[in-house]
Amino acid sequence: MLMPKKVKYRKQQKGRVRGQATRGNKVNFGDYGLQALERGHITARQLEAGRIAIVRQIKKGGKMWIRVFPDKPITKKPQETRMGKGKGNVEGWVAPVKPGRIIYELEGLSREEAKHALEMASHKMSIRTRMVAREEMEVL
């Protein structure tokens, strides 16, 4: 599963995901991409599930890039624990995603194959997404 090898600080504050994506909002490596339409956090498990769904669809046909990395720790306190006593333990990792951010990119596939593969991956995401093509970033 995707997670950082090492971090400077073990726990982070939640923060807010505000604004539109100004970086990582264009298809740079492949021909087709899966673009986020909403803001939110994508967990490492969701990213991995999406990766597996894409790999199953494209088999050995194309190449795939994952354009986001879950480097933000999410903490959780145990159930039925009273308030206080410090911050909970790290339970997982998320990637904060702004609207417009490209999550996955594909290359070496026909339009229909890419559309189907990215559709399978989009079902694993907790935010709304759409497929975009490289040529003038048109929406499919």
**Mind listing the pLDDT tens digit for each residue in 74-113?**
999 999 999 999 999 999 999 999 999 999 999 999 999 9
3-class secondary structure, 132: strand
Please state the domain extents for the chain.
Answer: 32-76+87-135
Give CA–CA dist 73/3, Å, rounded. Answer: 9
| CA angle 10–43–129, rounded 5-degree value | 145
The percent of the chain in helix, strand and coil, each rounded to the nearest 5, is 20, 30, 50
For residue 2, what pLDDT is reported? 83
Alpha carbon distance 54, 48 (integer Å): 10
Q: Is the pLDDT of residue 1 over 80?
A: no
pTM of the entire structure? Answer: 0.90
- The reported pLDDT for the residue numbered 27 is 94
User: What tokens does 97 get?
Assistant: 């995603």
Fold of 32-76+87-135: Aldehyde Oxidoreductase; domain 3 (3.90.1170)
Structure tokens at 20: 């539109």
**Residue 10 above 80 pLDDT?**
yes
Q: Which residues pair with 97 in a beta bridge?
A: 40
What is the rounded average pLDDT for all residues in the chain?
A: 93
pLDDT in tens, 35-63: 999 999 999 999 999 999 999 999 888 99
